[in-house]
Structure 1
Amino acid sequence: MKKLLSTQYSAGAFNFAILLARLSFGILMIMKHGIPHLMEFSSLQYKFYNFLGIGSRFSLVLVLFAELFCSMFLILGLFTRFAVIPLVIVMMVVIFSVNAGKPFINSELAVLYATVFIAILFVGPGRISIDGMMRG
């Protein structure tokens, strides 16, 4: 009980928590967003949200890059800080552009993803990652 109420944690607990966040949010991003967008590419390419005025198709390709490839790097813990930057950008576009004018609660999921991705950007992938193994 004493340990449960403690505000201190071990390095192992921290690294496991970061691993859990990377795995769960990376897998969810791929399964719930990346794969469905990829499967619907042919129909979405003409009606996808066109951010930055670069066209719907290219916008979709950039989002797919983030949702599939960057999420895979996040899961592996490889180039983690670089990988979460596109994911944060996509979530910010969803929050402040796609859902602009709608009640903020509509952005709940994007805010949750963005918060975790930003936290990983700040703290890094942890030692249980390819990045952690390369650092030694």
Structure 2
Amino acid sequence: MKKIFYNSYSPTAFNIAMLVMRIVFGLIMMRHGWEKLSHFADKQGKFMNFMGMGTSVSLGLATFAEFFCSLFIILGLFTRLATIPLLVTVFVILNLHHWAFFGEHELVPCLAAAYITLLLVGPGKYSLDAKISKK
């Protein structure tokens, strides 16, 4: 019973938690990227023109971040680097919705928190980054 309230965790538990977090949040955002990737031509003219870059460039950058960077995060490859485009995307979304943290946009701050955690902590032991750094 004491272990339930114990305030410590093993390195294995931490690394499994990071793996689960990478997979769950990676798949959530990757789904949005897949939608953009599979309907790219249809969405081109309708997408937001972020900072005057044009709708095609904005859509391309969002698709790259949401699909490909999420794939990198799931694999644990270039994890910290892959979080940066995702954080930019998430903060653009938050700004568009006037920093609404509750209601229909409550997932966006959760994604931001997950990506900030990955940026600060890294992917954990069960990642390609960890395998590469051992060599």
> Considering the TM-score relative to the shorter chain, is it more than 0.5?
yes
Of 113, 124, 127, the residue aligned with 1:129 is: 127
Letter of the 1:15 counterpart: N
- Equivalents in 1 of 2:24, 2:61: separation in Å? 22
Give the structure 1 partner of residue 90 of structure 2: 91
**How much has 1:107 moved relative to structure 2?**
3.0
Quote the residue 1:62 is aligned against: 61
Which contiguous aligned blocks of 4+ residues in structure 1 show a shift greater than 2 angstroms?
A: 102-107
| Kept after mapping to 2: 8 A contact 1:94/1:107 | no
1:75 and 2:74 correspond? yes
- Partners of 2:130 and 2:100 lie apart in 1 by 40
Unaligned runs of 5+ in 1: none
Residue aligning to 1:7: 7
Question: Is the CA contact (8 Å cut-off) linking 1:22 and 1:74 kept in structure 2?
Answer: yes
**TM-score in terms of structure 2 length:** 0.92
> What's the TM-score once normalised by structure 1's chain length?
0.92
Gaps of 5+ in 2: none
Q: Deviations over 1:3-54 (max 9, x none)?
A: 11111000000000000000111112112x0111122212211111111110
1:68-120, Cα deviation, whole Å (9 max, x unpaired)? 11011101101100001100110000001x213x8542431111111101111
Q: Which residue of 1 aligns with 2:23?
A: 23
CA distance in 2, matches of 1:103, 1:24: 23
Percent identity, please: 44
Q: Which moved more, 1:15-24 or 1:40-49?
A: 40-49
Give the equivalent residue in structure 1 for 2:48: 49
1:109 aligned residue (107, 110, 113): 107
Q: Which amino acid aligns with 1:129?
A: S
- In 2, are the aligned partners of 1:51 and 1:59 still within 8 Å (CA)? yes
